Structure 1
Amino acid sequence: MDCRPGCGACCIAPSISSPLPAWPAGKPAGAPCPHLSDERRCTLFGDPRRPAVCASLQPAQAMCGTSPAEAMATLRRWELLTAPQR
């Protein structure tokens, strides 16, 4: 499966604990990655500064569903299910 054009759910919904060039402390869940373009594409794609977690995330039916809205809902749910307990 290829990334759905204009989606970007995986760059918005999950938190990223790894440092990013624009956010050294990582990215909070629900915040658009600062490296997400207006076309909702990763501007760090292929860049060695791209976090390993981002490079390892591959589009799949279970994650992406049939629409950007479904992908966002799935990733938000996964974020809640895997968030550390406070």
Structure 2
Amino acid sequence: MWRVLYCPEYLFGDPGNAKGEAAGVRCVQLNEQNLCKIFGKPERPAVCSQFKACPSLCGQTSQQALDNITELESMT
């Protein structure tokens, strides 16, 4: 399963963007490798810290995770 360091930051708003992100907008807290720059830090939002990765959402690659999340967002 794709590591939880990558997946949730596409899902939720973050402290680096006061208004949060619109669906499909890349989180400003992701670095060039799509790793969360505030992972494990106190300023990381609770919703991100509490996210439990699952294979059906996060897949095996970052592209699978993004595709799955994009599909879910299009249904809501």
TM-score, scaled to structure 2: 0.74
2:30 paired with 1:10: no
- Partners in 1 of 2:29 and 2:4 — Cα distance? 17
1:26: which partner in 2?
20
Q: Aligned to 1:60, which of 51, 54, 65?
A: 54
Which protein, 1 or 2, shows the higher relative CO under an 8 Å CA cutoff with sep ≥ 6?
2
2:41 paired with 1:43: no
What one-letter code is carried by the residue in structure 2 that aligns with 1:60? C
State whether residues 21 and 27 of structure 2, in contact with CA within 8 Å, keep that contact through their aligned partners in structure 1: yes
The Cα offsets for residues 26-50 of structure 1, whole Å up to 9 and x where unpaired, read as: 1222111111011211011111211
**1:69 Cα shift?**
2.3
Q: CA RMSD in A?
A: 2.4
